[in-house]
């Protein structure tokens, strides 16, 4: 609907084809460096701060040279996590965990022999049981050195790893970073970068609408993205060509955008 109304070829604010901001690009480049020498990297941040955008950029980057199996179902046991990894590598095996581990290690060394890098990604790693994470760490100890296990998590993961009992995992982290909330100028730059990506003029959003979006998003990229898309849908409904405060405020009146004390008066 939005693409047809605004005459676009690409979906606006699409996470599958992200345009990285400067701080995200820096994290992305660092992850690539660690993939050459073996690493355990942790990307932390509040929900919606842009971790998924970085993950997608890693997955999309040079898939012929950098193999990036992504595990998002982190509530699984270690056995099921191995099954998911086997699915990612195209390994069809029934049997004990030790056999799956053996075949995964062989697959890792084959990737190394082919001159490729391996960057497994575990999303929402803070939800994974620490014992499962420990077993995965031991598994990847037997992988070739040009791999990089990337954990994407909320800050709660680091709180767990600071416990003395988990020092064996924390001591092997080669790089960690916290993805911050963004300031008003960065949020504005994000919106304009996204408009550039889909070849839509900056005047598609009025200056006043941008100000309201920046203020309401509170530095969270996901809120910014959702608010922009919702405001564009309201603009389509109004048969207008410019997103203005009228459309943005209509979105902000929806209950999930309201503060608790506002909801009490509804």
Q: What is the DSSP string of 115-173?
A: T-EE--EETTGGGS-HHHHHHHHHHHHTS-SSBEEEEEE-THHHHHHTSGGGHHHHTT-
E strand intervals along the chain = 39-45, 66-67, 70-71, 117-118, 121-122, 148-153, 175-179
pLDDT at position 227 is 96
User: What is the mean pLDDT of the segment spanning 114-139?
Assistant: 89
Q: What is the pLDDT of residues 228-257, one digit of tens each?
A: 999 999 999 999 999 999 999 999 999 988
Q: Per the structure block, which two tokens stand in for 12?
A: 């606006």
The β-bridge partners of 43 are: 152, 177
Structure tokens at 174: 């080669």
Closest residue by Cα to residue 232 from 193, 202, 204: 204
User: 44 pLDDT band (50/70/90 cuts)?
Assistant: very high
**Average pLDDT estimate for 215-227:** 94
Distances (CA, A) of 49 to 46, 60, 251: 6, 19, 21
Instruction: Report d(CA 204, CA 223) in Å as an integer.
Output: 19
Please determine, for residue 145, whether its predicted confidence score (pLDDT) is greater than 60.
Answer: yes
All domains of the chain in start order, with CATH = 22-179 (3.40.50.300), 182-253 (1.10.8.60)
Local structure of 237: helix, strand or coil: helix
Q: What is the mean pLDDT of residues 25-52?
A: 90
Determine contact, residues 122/76, Cβ cutoff 8 Å: no
Mean pLDDT, residues 28-57 taken together = 90
Q: What is the pLDDT of residue 261?
A: 46
Beta bridge partner(s), residue 178: 44
Find the mean pLDDT for residues 25-31: 92
Global pTM? 0.84
- Report, as an integer, the average pLDDT of 44-56: 91
Place of tokens 């060394």: 109
Tokens 């922009």 found at: 228
Structure tokens given for 187: 């949020």
pLDDT digits (tens, 9 = 90+) for 156-184: 899 999 999 999 899 989 999 999 999 99
Strand ranges (E), 154-249: 175-179
Q: pLDDT value at position 165?
A: 92
């Amino acid at each position: 609907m939005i693409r047809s109304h605004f005459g676009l070829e690409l979906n606006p604010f699409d996470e599958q084809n992200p345009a990285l901001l400067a701080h995200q690009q820096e994290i992305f480049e660092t992850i690539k460096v660690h993939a050459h020498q073996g690493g355990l990297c942790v990307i932390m941040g509040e929900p919606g701060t842009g971790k998924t955008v970085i993950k997608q950029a890693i997955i999309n980057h040079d898939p012929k040279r950098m193999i990036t199996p992504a595990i998002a179902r982190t509530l699984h046991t270690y056995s099921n996590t191995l099954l998911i990894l086997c699915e990612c590598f195209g390994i069809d095996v029934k049997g004990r965990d030790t056999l799956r581990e053996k075949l995964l290690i062989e697959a890792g060394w084959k990737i190394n022999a082919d001159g490729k890098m391996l960057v497994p990604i575990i999303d929402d790693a803070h939800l994974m049981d620490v014992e499962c994470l420990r077993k995965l760490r031991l598994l990847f100890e037997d992988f070739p050195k040009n791999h990089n296990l990337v954990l994407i998590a909320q800050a709660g993961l680091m709180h767990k790893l600071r416990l003395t009992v988990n020092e064996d995992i924390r001591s092997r982290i080669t790089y960690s970073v916290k993805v911050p909330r963004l300031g008003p100028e960065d949020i504005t730059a994000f919106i304009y970068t996204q408009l550039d990506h889909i070849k839509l003029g900056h005047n598609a959003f009025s200056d006043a609408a941008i100000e309201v979006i920046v203020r309401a998003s509170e530095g969270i990229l996901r809120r910014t993205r959702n608010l922009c898309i919702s405001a564009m849908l309201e603009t389509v409904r109004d048969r207008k060509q410019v997103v203005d405060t009228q459309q943005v405020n209509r979105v902000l009146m929806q209950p999930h955008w309201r503060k608790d004390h506002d909801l009490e008066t509804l």
